[in-house]
Amino acid sequence: IPTQEEAVNYFKDIPGGRTAQQQAQAFNAFIEGNGYLSSRRGGFTERNAGRTPWNVQADLRLAHDLPVTGSGQFLTLSADIVNLTNLLHRKWGVQYFSPNTFNSTSSVGLTPTLFPPQQNAGNWPVFTFSDPGRPYSIDYFNSRAQVQLGVRYTF
């Protein structure tokens, strides 16, 4: 993770677009807005150290047995609520994940300049920066409450 002073070395002016200095300022602002990245300035990231927010989910199963005859047969009625936490409050039970990306720099908004390959003075690789927003995504399907009803006959 580059220091604030080094960041400008990774960018070139985009004709008709942002300058290297503007891209470096935006990149530095992104790094400073992330507690983990800002703590690692001038060093390397550690494997699996940047994490998504904690996933909290509680499920509930309700079941009731109804006797059918005196011979031990019965019906079981059940209701399963998956992600009960989201049913109680829409901001609870949200499931986060890091999507698979084609390279590790895409989740921090860096796109390598490959065609033609470019390097700045001092052999610094050249990137363009666009703010990626969050480095993780929300799984909207698994973040909502789901209910499953069931009937079982035991004989």
65: β partners:
76
The percentage of the chain sitting over the pLDDT mark of 70, rounded to a whole number, equals 86
Name the DSSP letter for residue 11. Answer: B
Residue 61 and residue 89 share a domain: yes
Within the chain, residue ranges assigned H as helices are 20-32, 35-39, 84-88
Number of domains in the chain: 2
Summarize pLDDT for 102-144 with one digit per residue, the tens. 445 556 677 777 666 666 766 777 887 877 777 678 888 999 9
Torsion angle of the four alpha carbons 45, 47, 50, 56, in this order, in degrees rounded to the nearest 10: -170
Residue 36 and residue 12 share a domain: yes
Tell me which residue range forms the domain holding 59: 55-97+139-154
Residue 109 and residue 93 share a domain: no
Residue 69 and residue 3 share a domain: no
Residue 84 and residue 73 share a domain: yes
Residue 143 and residue 93 share a domain: yes
pLDDT at residue 149 tops 50: yes
Residue 130 and residue 114 share a domain: yes
- Pairing assessment for the beta strands 119-120 and 110-112 based on DSSP bridges: unpaired
How sure is the predictor about 70, in pLDDT bands with cuts at 50, 70 and 90?
confident
